[in-house]
Amino acid sequence: MILVTAANGNQGRMLVPKLIAAGEPVRALVQSEASAAHLRALGVDDVLVGDAADPRLIAQAVDGIRAIYHVGPTLHPDERGMGFAIIDAARAAGVEHFVFSSVLHSIVTDLVQHEIKRDVEERLLSSDLEFTILQPSNFMLPLKLRPAFERGVFELSWSLDRRQSLVDLDDVTDVAVMTLSDPERHAGATYELVAPGRFTAFELRDVIAGVMGRSIDVREIDADTYARAWLGERDPADAPHQLAVLRSISARYSAHDFIGNPNVLTWLLGRQPTSYETFVTREWNSFTQSTT
Protein backbone atom coordinates (compact mmCIF):
# COMPACT_ATOMS: atom_id res chain seq x y z
CA MET A 1 0.00 0.00 0.00
CA ILE A 2 1.10 3.56 -0.77
CA LEU A 3 0.57 6.43 1.67
CA VAL A 4 -0.09 9.84 0.10
CA THR A 5 0.09 12.83 2.44
CA ALA A 6 -1.81 16.06 1.70
CA ALA A 7 -3.85 13.73 -0.47
CA ASN A 8 -6.50 16.31 -1.35
CA GLY A 9 -4.02 19.05 -2.25
CA ASN A 10 -2.91 20.17 -5.71
CA GLN A 11 -0.77 17.09 -6.29
CA GLY A 12 -2.80 14.57 -4.33
CA ARG A 13 -6.07 15.21 -6.17
CA MET A 14 -4.29 14.38 -9.42
CA LEU A 15 -1.96 11.65 -8.16
CA VAL A 16 -4.42 9.48 -6.22
CA PRO A 17 -6.69 8.63 -9.20
CA LYS A 18 -3.61 7.75 -11.26
CA LEU A 19 -2.35 5.37 -8.58
CA ILE A 20 -5.78 3.73 -8.34
CA ALA A 21 -5.90 3.37 -12.13
CA ALA A 22 -2.47 1.72 -11.99
CA GLY A 23 -3.81 -0.84 -9.52
CA GLU A 24 -1.93 0.54 -6.52
CA PRO A 25 -3.78 0.43 -3.17
CA VAL A 26 -3.72 3.88 -1.55
CA ARG A 27 -3.98 5.18 1.99
CA ALA A 28 -4.74 8.91 2.05
CA LEU A 29 -3.84 11.31 4.85
CA VAL A 30 -5.92 14.50 4.96
CA GLN A 31 -6.78 17.22 7.45
CA SER A 32 -10.57 17.49 7.07
CA GLU A 33 -13.66 15.35 6.68
CA ALA A 34 -14.56 17.29 3.53
CA SER A 35 -11.27 16.22 1.95
CA ALA A 36 -11.86 12.65 3.10
CA ALA A 37 -15.31 12.60 1.50
CA HIS A 38 -13.86 13.78 -1.80
CA LEU A 39 -11.23 11.03 -1.79
CA ARG A 40 -13.70 8.32 -0.83
CA ALA A 41 -15.78 9.39 -3.82
CA LEU A 42 -12.69 8.77 -5.98
CA GLY A 43 -12.49 5.20 -4.66
CA VAL A 44 -10.06 5.53 -1.74
CA ASP A 45 -11.30 3.29 1.04
CA ASP A 46 -8.44 3.88 3.47
CA VAL A 47 -8.53 7.55 4.51
CA LEU A 48 -7.08 8.97 7.73
CA VAL A 49 -8.22 12.38 8.94
CA GLY A 50 -6.30 14.52 11.38
CA ASP A 51 -3.30 16.70 12.12
CA ALA A 52 -0.25 15.41 10.26
CA ALA A 53 1.90 16.72 13.12
CA ASP A 54 0.27 14.24 15.56
CA PRO A 55 2.78 11.42 16.24
CA ARG A 56 -0.01 8.91 16.93
CA LEU A 57 -1.70 9.67 13.63
CA ILE A 58 1.61 9.41 11.75
CA ALA A 59 2.38 6.05 13.36
CA GLN A 60 -1.05 4.81 12.30
CA ALA A 61 -0.59 6.23 8.81
CA VAL A 62 2.72 4.46 8.10
CA ASP A 63 1.70 1.09 9.56
CA GLY A 64 1.76 -1.58 6.86
CA ILE A 65 2.85 0.89 4.16
CA ARG A 66 5.21 -0.10 1.33
CA ALA A 67 5.91 3.40 0.01
CA ILE A 68 5.17 7.00 0.91
CA TYR A 69 4.59 10.04 -1.28
CA HIS A 70 5.08 13.02 0.99
CA VAL A 71 3.99 16.49 0.01
CA GLY A 72 5.03 19.07 2.56
CA PRO A 73 2.26 21.66 3.04
CA THR A 74 4.16 24.74 1.85
CA LEU A 75 2.12 27.29 3.76
CA HIS A 76 1.92 25.29 7.00
CA PRO A 77 4.06 26.75 9.81
CA ASP A 78 5.16 23.28 10.96
CA GLU A 79 6.05 21.90 7.52
CA ARG A 80 9.58 21.07 8.66
CA GLY A 81 8.42 19.23 11.77
CA MET A 82 5.86 17.25 9.78
CA GLY A 83 8.51 16.19 7.29
CA PHE A 84 10.94 15.12 10.01
CA ALA A 85 8.25 13.20 11.89
CA ILE A 86 6.98 11.22 8.92
CA ILE A 87 10.53 10.33 7.81
CA ASP A 88 11.37 9.10 11.32
CA ALA A 89 8.12 7.13 11.50
CA ALA A 90 8.74 5.60 8.07
CA ARG A 91 12.18 4.44 9.17
CA ALA A 92 10.82 2.92 12.37
CA ALA A 93 8.05 1.14 10.44
CA GLY A 94 10.41 -0.30 7.81
CA VAL A 95 8.87 1.54 4.85
CA GLU A 96 10.62 0.39 1.67
CA HIS A 97 10.58 3.61 -0.36
CA PHE A 98 10.04 7.29 0.49
CA VAL A 99 9.28 9.75 -2.32
CA PHE A 100 9.51 13.39 -1.30
CA SER A 101 8.00 16.20 -3.34
CA SER A 102 10.49 19.01 -2.77
CA VAL A 103 11.18 22.06 -4.92
CA LEU A 104 13.57 23.13 -7.67
CA HIS A 105 16.77 24.67 -6.26
CA SER A 106 16.02 23.85 -2.64
CA ILE A 107 19.47 25.25 -1.76
CA VAL A 108 18.13 28.80 -2.23
CA THR A 109 17.66 29.48 1.46
CA ASP A 110 16.38 33.07 1.21
CA LEU A 111 13.12 31.45 0.10
CA VAL A 112 11.40 30.35 3.31
CA GLN A 113 9.80 27.23 1.89
CA HIS A 114 13.01 26.20 0.12
CA GLU A 115 15.02 26.23 3.31
CA ILE A 116 12.38 24.05 4.98
CA LYS A 117 12.31 21.56 2.10
CA ARG A 118 16.11 21.51 1.98
CA ASP A 119 16.14 20.53 5.65
CA VAL A 120 13.60 17.76 5.00
CA GLU A 121 15.73 16.51 2.09
CA GLU A 122 18.72 16.33 4.43
CA ARG A 123 16.71 14.42 7.03
CA LEU A 124 15.64 11.95 4.34
CA LEU A 125 19.20 11.52 3.06
CA SER A 126 20.33 10.81 6.63
CA SER A 127 17.54 8.33 7.38
CA ASP A 128 18.99 5.35 5.43
CA LEU A 129 15.57 4.94 3.77
CA GLU A 130 15.43 4.20 0.07
CA PHE A 131 14.33 7.50 -1.40
CA THR A 132 13.47 9.49 -4.49
CA ILE A 133 13.36 13.29 -4.39
CA LEU A 134 11.32 15.22 -6.93
CA GLN A 135 12.24 18.87 -7.41
CA PRO A 136 9.54 20.52 -9.53
CA SER A 137 9.72 24.10 -10.69
CA ASN A 138 6.85 26.52 -10.15
CA PHE A 139 3.58 24.80 -10.88
CA MET A 140 1.28 25.95 -13.65
CA LEU A 141 -1.64 26.78 -11.36
CA PRO A 142 -5.24 27.62 -12.35
CA LEU A 143 -5.32 30.13 -9.48
CA LYS A 144 -2.86 32.37 -11.33
CA LEU A 145 -5.03 32.32 -14.46
CA ARG A 146 -8.24 33.32 -12.72
CA PRO A 147 -7.69 37.12 -12.86
CA ALA A 148 -6.86 36.88 -16.58
CA PHE A 149 -9.94 34.80 -17.35
CA GLU A 150 -12.31 36.78 -15.14
CA ARG A 151 -10.97 40.35 -15.35
CA GLY A 152 -8.63 40.43 -18.32
CA VAL A 153 -5.45 41.05 -16.32
CA PHE A 154 -2.56 38.67 -15.65
CA GLU A 155 -0.99 39.26 -12.23
CA LEU A 156 2.32 38.21 -10.71
CA SER A 157 3.67 39.10 -7.29
CA TRP A 158 7.23 39.79 -8.46
CA SER A 159 9.11 41.76 -11.10
CA LEU A 160 7.46 41.35 -14.49
CA ASP A 161 10.81 41.30 -16.31
CA ARG A 162 12.23 38.32 -14.41
CA ARG A 163 12.16 34.91 -16.05
CA GLN A 164 10.72 31.74 -14.58
CA SER A 165 10.49 28.09 -15.55
CA LEU A 166 7.22 26.25 -14.96
CA VAL A 167 5.92 22.68 -14.87
CA ASP A 168 2.49 21.09 -15.22
CA LEU A 169 1.13 19.15 -12.24
CA ASP A 170 -0.10 16.45 -14.61
CA ASP A 171 3.48 15.76 -15.69
CA VAL A 172 4.80 15.82 -12.13
CA THR A 173 2.22 13.31 -10.96
CA ASP A 174 2.99 11.08 -13.96
CA VAL A 175 6.58 10.96 -12.72
CA ALA A 176 5.37 10.33 -9.18
CA VAL A 177 3.45 7.26 -10.36
CA MET A 178 6.60 6.00 -12.10
CA THR A 179 8.72 6.34 -8.98
CA LEU A 180 6.13 4.69 -6.73
CA SER A 181 5.32 1.83 -9.12
CA ASP A 182 8.95 1.01 -9.97
CA PRO A 183 10.92 1.97 -6.86
CA GLU A 184 14.04 -0.03 -7.65
CA ARG A 185 14.60 1.90 -10.88
CA HIS A 186 14.24 5.29 -9.20
CA ALA A 187 15.81 4.61 -5.80
CA GLY A 188 18.43 7.15 -4.80
CA ALA A 189 17.46 9.58 -7.55
CA THR A 190 16.86 13.32 -7.33
CA TYR A 191 14.97 14.66 -10.35
CA GLU A 192 14.60 18.28 -11.39
CA LEU A 193 11.20 18.57 -13.09
CA VAL A 194 10.95 21.52 -15.46
CA ALA A 195 8.97 22.17 -18.64
CA PRO A 196 10.50 23.97 -21.65
CA GLY A 197 10.54 27.74 -21.61
CA ARG A 198 11.86 30.65 -19.55
CA PHE A 199 9.12 33.24 -19.39
CA THR A 200 8.76 36.84 -18.33
CA ALA A 201 5.32 37.93 -17.17
CA PHE A 202 4.84 39.68 -20.49
CA GLU A 203 5.52 36.48 -22.41
CA LEU A 204 3.12 34.53 -20.20
CA ARG A 205 0.52 37.27 -20.76
CA ASP A 206 0.96 36.94 -24.52
CA VAL A 207 0.38 33.17 -24.37
CA ILE A 208 -2.79 33.63 -22.31
CA ALA A 209 -4.07 36.36 -24.61
CA GLY A 210 -3.44 34.17 -27.65
CA VAL A 211 -5.44 31.32 -26.15
CA MET A 212 -8.28 33.63 -25.09
CA GLY A 213 -8.28 35.39 -28.45
CA ARG A 214 -8.25 38.88 -26.99
CA SER A 215 -5.87 41.39 -25.43
CA ILE A 216 -5.26 41.34 -21.69
CA ASP A 217 -3.20 43.49 -19.36
CA VAL A 218 -0.33 42.46 -17.10
CA ARG A 219 0.20 43.86 -13.62
CA GLU A 220 2.65 43.39 -10.76
CA ILE A 221 1.00 42.94 -7.36
CA ASP A 222 2.57 42.67 -3.94
CA ALA A 223 2.78 39.49 -1.90
CA ASP A 224 0.08 40.59 0.52
CA THR A 225 -2.39 41.07 -2.33
CA TYR A 226 -1.60 37.61 -3.67
CA ALA A 227 -1.91 36.19 -0.16
CA ARG A 228 -5.55 37.27 -0.03
CA ALA A 229 -6.26 35.19 -3.15
CA TRP A 230 -4.27 32.20 -1.85
CA LEU A 231 -5.72 32.23 1.68
CA GLY A 232 -9.34 32.73 0.63
CA GLU A 233 -11.49 33.65 3.62
CA ARG A 234 -8.59 33.60 6.09
CA ASP A 235 -7.29 36.93 7.33
CA PRO A 236 -3.64 37.33 6.17
CA ALA A 237 -2.91 39.03 9.48
CA ASP A 238 -3.58 35.70 11.17
CA ALA A 239 -1.17 33.87 8.87
CA PRO A 240 2.35 35.21 9.59
CA HIS A 241 4.16 32.13 8.24
CA GLN A 242 2.16 32.14 5.02
CA LEU A 243 2.89 35.83 4.53
CA ALA A 244 6.60 35.24 5.18
CA VAL A 245 6.64 32.51 2.50
CA LEU A 246 4.89 34.66 -0.10
CA ARG A 247 6.94 37.77 0.71
CA SER A 248 10.18 35.81 0.36
CA ILE A 249 9.02 34.59 -3.05
CA SER A 250 8.28 38.13 -4.20
CA ALA A 251 11.67 39.38 -2.99
CA ARG A 252 13.72 36.54 -4.48
CA TYR A 253 11.92 36.37 -7.81
CA SER A 254 12.16 40.15 -8.19
CA ALA A 255 15.93 40.01 -7.66
CA HIS A 256 16.78 36.85 -9.64
CA ASP A 257 15.39 34.63 -12.39
CA PHE A 258 14.10 31.20 -11.30
CA ILE A 259 14.89 28.82 -14.14
CA GLY A 260 15.71 25.18 -14.84
CA ASN A 261 16.31 22.69 -17.64
CA PRO A 262 13.62 20.42 -19.19
CA ASN A 263 15.87 17.50 -20.15
CA VAL A 264 15.32 15.33 -17.07
CA LEU A 265 11.53 15.60 -17.24
CA THR A 266 11.58 14.90 -20.99
CA TRP A 267 13.70 11.78 -20.49
CA LEU A 268 11.48 10.50 -17.69
CA LEU A 269 8.21 11.05 -19.56
CA GLY A 270 9.55 9.80 -22.90
CA ARG A 271 7.80 12.75 -24.54
CA GLN A 272 7.80 16.52 -24.54
CA PRO A 273 6.51 17.94 -21.25
CA THR A 274 3.27 19.90 -21.31
CA SER A 275 3.81 23.41 -22.64
CA TYR A 276 2.42 26.51 -20.98
CA GLU A 277 0.20 27.12 -24.00
CA THR A 278 -1.27 23.61 -23.72
CA PHE A 279 -1.91 24.15 -20.01
CA VAL A 280 -3.62 27.50 -20.58
CA THR A 281 -5.73 26.06 -23.39
CA ARG A 282 -6.87 23.22 -21.14
CA GLU A 283 -7.80 25.59 -18.32
CA TRP A 284 -9.50 28.11 -20.66
CA ASN A 285 -11.66 25.37 -22.15
CA SER A 286 -12.63 24.22 -18.67
CA PHE A 287 -13.40 27.79 -17.59
CA THR A 288 -15.55 28.58 -20.61
CA GLN A 289 -17.49 25.33 -20.22
CA SER A 290 -18.18 26.09 -16.56
CA THR A 291 -19.47 29.59 -17.32
CA THR A 292 -21.79 28.73 -20.24
Percent of the chain residues past pLDDT 90, beyond the cut: 84
Percent of the chain residues past pLDDT 70, beyond the cut: 98
What phi, psi does 219 have (nearest 5°)?
Answer: -145, 140
Is the pLDDT at 230 greater than 70, yes or no?
Answer: no
Residue 40 banded pLDDT, cuts 50, 70, 90 = very high
pLDDT score for 153: 97
Mean of pLDDT values over 211-235 = 85
Mean of pLDDT values over 97-122 = 96
Whether CATH 3.40.50.720 fits 2-139+167-193: yes
Is the pLDDT at 103 greater than 90, yes or no?
Answer: yes
pLDDT score for 102: 97
DSSP 25: -
Tell me the longest C-alpha to C-alpha distance in the chain: 57
Is the pLDDT at 232 greater than 80, yes or no?
Answer: no
Least confident of 42-46, 123-127, 138-142: 42-46
**What is the value of pTM for the model shown?**
0.94
Residue 161, burial from CB neighbour count under 10 angstroms (0-12, 13-18, 19+): exposed
Alpha carbon 111 to chain centroid, angstroms = 16
Residue 223 banded pLDDT, cuts 50, 70, 90 = confident
- The per-residue pLDDT for range 171-219, each reduced to its tens digit, is 999 999 999 999 999 999 999 999 999 999 999 999 999 999 999 999 9
Mean of pLDDT values over 152-157 = 95
Mean of pLDDT values over 66-82 = 89
Domain range annotation of the chain: 2-139+167-193
Neighbours of 57 (CB within 10 A): 17
pLDDT score for 291: 85
Is the pLDDT at 228 greater than 80, yes or no?
Answer: no
Q: 75 and 112 in contact (C-beta within 8 Å)?
A: no
pLDDT score for 239: 76
